[in-house]
C-alpha cells in the first residue's frame, strides 16, 4: 500500500517495489502537486487517482524515474509510445532524424531530470557551429536548431504529463531566433507571370543529341542533332494555373479529388494534403490546422479548364479499360484524383515540381542571345506570386490570408512584407499628390 506524506503544498507518494539481495526494502517515490484552480475535493480525487496509477506502474515495472532514466532512454520510449501515435509520419521521421543526428549525441547519456537550461543553451550554441554534413556546406541554420528545441520541449512536456519529471527546462532556455528574410521569397513579377502563362500555351523546345539507332531489320544508322516540340500536358497546365490563381500548396492540389470540385458553384474545397512520410512513401491526410481546410472561389476560365480536363480524364478511363486503376463508373468517378499518373493513380508529388523546373529551363535555353531569361523559382513560388499580386492590387490581407489557409493574418503580413512595403510607399505618394502637389 502506498505511503502518502504531505510536504508543504505537495504530497510525496512512496510505494514498495521489492527487496534487494540483502532483504532490504526498495521504494519508488513520486510527487503530486495539487492544482490551485481546483477545489479541495477535486484535488483529493486527483491525488487518489495519481496514487492508484503510480502503484500500478511500480507493480508492473513501468514506472519511469527522471532521476534514473537517461534522456536517450526516455526519448526512445517517447517516440514509440507517444510520437508514433500523435505525429504525422513526416513529422515523426523528421523528429527522429533530429534526435539521432543533433540531440542525442550530446545530451542522450544525461539523466532526464539533470538537464538544465544552461545545458540546452550550450547545446544550441554548439549546433549553430556544427557543419551540416550530407554533402551540404555551411553550419546548421537557426531554423534547424529551433526545431531541435521544439523536439526537446515536446519530450519534456510528455515527461511532465507522465510524472517522470517536474519541470521543462526548455521553458527557461534561449533558442536562436529565426528571422524570416522576405528577400529570400521567390516569385514572378507581373511581366514574368504573363510570360510564364504564354509559355504554357506553346510546345516545349526539346533539343535532342546525335545518336545511333537500329532499324527493324537490325541495320544500324546514325541520327544527327534535332529539335523536338513537346506540348505541355493538359493536366500540368491546369495544375500550374490552379497553383497561381488559387494560391494552393503543391500537396493540397495533388490531394484534390473530383468530389472536392463544385463546378456549378465555382469553388474548390481544400480538405486534405499529400506529402512524403519518409523515403519515397506518400500519404494523403487531413491538414493539422483548421484554417488550412477552406473553400476557394474559382474564376470562370479555370472552371472551363476543369470541365475540359474532367471530360478528357473520363475518356482516358474508358480507353484504358482494365489498365485504369481509378474509378470508371459514372457514379463513382468523383472519387478519382484530379491529377493522375497515366493509369489513373494519384500523381506523385515530385511530378509537378520537376515539370515546372524543366519548362522554365528549356524555355530559357531556347531564348535568342540577349533576351532576359525567366527566373527559375521553386514551384511554391507560384503561391507566393499569387499572394504578392493580390496584395499589390489592394486585396485586403485578411482575404488573402483566408485563400492561402494561414492561421492568422499576421502570418501573411510577415511573409509578404515586401508587397505591403510597396503599398505603404504608394499610400505616401497618394497623400502627397492629393494634399501637397495639388496646391503647388
Taking only the tens place, the pLDDT of each residue in 298-308 is 999 999 999 99
- Of 105-114, 130-139, 319-328, 399-408, least confident by mean pLDDT is 130-139
Q: In this model, does residue 61 exceed pLDDT 70?
A: no
**pLDDT at position 171 over 70:** yes
Distances in whole angstroms, Cα of residue 166 to Cα of each of 54, 67, 78: 15, 11, 16
Using pLDDT thresholds of 50, 70 and 90, give the confidence band for residue 197.
very high
Residue pLDDT, tens place only, 382-432 = 999 999 999 888 888 899 999 999 888 887 887 787 666 766 676 677 666
Nearest to residue 176, comparing CAs of 118, 124, 123?
A: 124
The Cα 51–Cα 11 span in angstroms is: 10
Is the model more confident about 104 or about 205? 104
Residues 382, 186: contact at Cβ < 8 Å? Answer: no
Using only C-alpha atoms, the chain has a radius of gyration, in whole angstroms, of 30
Question: In whole angstroms, what is the distance from residue 380 CA to residue 173 CA?
Answer: 33
Q: Which residue has the higher pLDDT, 88 or 313?
A: 313
Q: Is the pLDDT of residue 182 over 60?
A: no
Domains located in the chain, CATH noted: 3-60 (no CATH), 71-172 (1.10.150.130)
As a residue count, the chain comes to: 440
Distance spanning both ends of the chain, measured CA to CA: 93
- When pLDDT is averaged across residues 86-104 and rounded to a whole number, the result is 88
Residue 18: per-residue pLDDT: 63
What is the pTM (predicted TM-score) of this model? Answer: 0.66
Highest average pLDDT, of 97-101, 177-181, 430-434, comes from: 97-101
Least confident window among 29-38, 118-127, 325-334, 367-376: 29-38
pLDDT at residue 178, as a whole number: 62
Is the model's pLDDT at 258 over the cut of 60?
yes
pLDDT value at position 20?
65
Q: What is the DSSP letter of 70?
A: B
What is the band of 135 on the pLDDT scale with cuts at 50, 70, 90?
A: very low
Residue 439 has pLDDT above 70, yes or no: no
Amino acid at each position: 500500500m502506498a505511503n502518502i506524506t504531505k510536504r508543504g503544498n505537495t504530497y510525496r507518494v512512496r510505494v514498495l517495489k521489492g527487496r534487494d539481495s540483502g532483504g532490504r526494502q526498495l521504494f519508488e517515490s513520486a510527487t503530486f502537486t495539487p492544482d490551485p484552480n481546483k477545489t479541495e475535493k477535486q484535488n483529493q480525487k486527483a491525488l487518489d487517482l495519481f496514487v492508484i496509477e503510480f502503484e500500478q506502474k511500480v507493480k508492473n515495472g513501468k514506472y519511469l524515474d527522471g532521476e534514473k532514466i537517461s534522456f536517450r532512454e526516455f526519448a526512445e520510449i517517447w517516440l514509440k509510445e507517444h510520437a508514433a501515435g500523435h505525429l504525422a509520419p513526416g513529422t515523426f521521421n523528421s523528429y527522429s532524424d533530429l534526435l539521432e543526428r543533433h540531440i542525442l549525441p550530446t545530451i542522450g547519456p544525461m539523466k532526464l531530470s539533470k538537464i538544465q537550461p544552461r545545458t540546452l543553451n550550450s547545446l544550441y550554441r554548439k549546433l549553430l557551429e556544427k557543419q551540416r554534413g550530407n554533402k551540404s556546406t555551411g553550419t546548421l541554420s537557426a531554423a534547424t536548431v529551433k526545431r531541435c528545441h521544439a523536439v526537446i520541449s515536446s519530450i519534456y512536456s510528455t515527461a511532465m504529463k507522465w510524472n517522470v519529471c517536474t519541470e521543462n527546462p526548455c521553458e527557461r532556455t534561449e533558442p536562436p531566433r529565426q528571422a524570416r528574410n522576405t528577400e529570400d521569397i521567390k516569385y514572378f513579377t507581373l511581366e514574368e507571370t504573363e510570360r510564364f502563362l504564354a509559355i504554357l500555351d506553346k510546345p516545349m523546345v526539346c533539343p535532342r543529341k546525335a545518336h545511333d539507332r537500329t532499324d527493324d531489320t537490325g541495320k544500324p544508322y546514325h541520327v544527327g542533332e534535332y529539335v523536338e516540340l513537346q506540348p505541355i500536358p493538359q493536366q500540368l497546365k491546369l495544375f500550374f494555373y490552379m497553383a497561381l490563381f488559387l494560391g494552393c500548396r503543391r500537396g493540397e492540389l495533388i490531394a484534390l479529388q473530383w468530389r472536392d470540385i463544385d463546378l456549378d458553384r465555382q469553388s474548390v474545397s481544400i480538405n486534405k494534403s499529400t506529402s512524403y512520410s519518409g523515403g519515397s512513401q506518400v500519404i494523403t491526410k487531413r491538414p493539422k490546422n483548421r484554417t488550412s481546410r477552406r473553400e476557394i472561389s474559382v474564376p470562370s476560365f479555370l472552371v472551363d479548364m476543369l470541365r475540359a480536363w474532367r471530360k478528357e480524364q473520363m475518356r482516358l478511363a474508358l480507353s484504358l479499360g482494365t489498365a485504369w486503376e481509378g474509378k470508371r463508373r459514372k457514379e463513382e468517378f468523383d472519387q478519382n484524383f484530379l491529377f493522375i499518373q497515366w493509369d489513373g493513380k494519384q500523381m506523385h508529388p515530385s511530378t509537378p515540381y520537376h515539370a515546372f523546373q524543366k519548362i522554365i529551363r528549356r524555355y530559357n535555353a531556347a531564348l535568342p542571345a540577349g533576351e532576359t531569361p525567366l527566373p527559375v523559382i521553386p514551384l511554391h513560388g507560384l503561391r507566393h506570386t499569387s499572394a504578392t499580386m493580390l496584395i499589390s492590387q489592394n486585396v485586403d490581407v485578411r482575404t488573402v490570408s483566408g485563400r492561402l489557409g494561414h492561421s492568422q493574418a499576421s502570418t501573411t503580413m510577415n511573409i509578404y512584407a515586401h508587397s505591403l512595403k510597396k503599398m505603404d510607399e504608394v499610400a505616401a505618394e497618394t497623400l502627397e499628390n492629393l494634399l501637397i502637389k495639388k496646391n503647388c
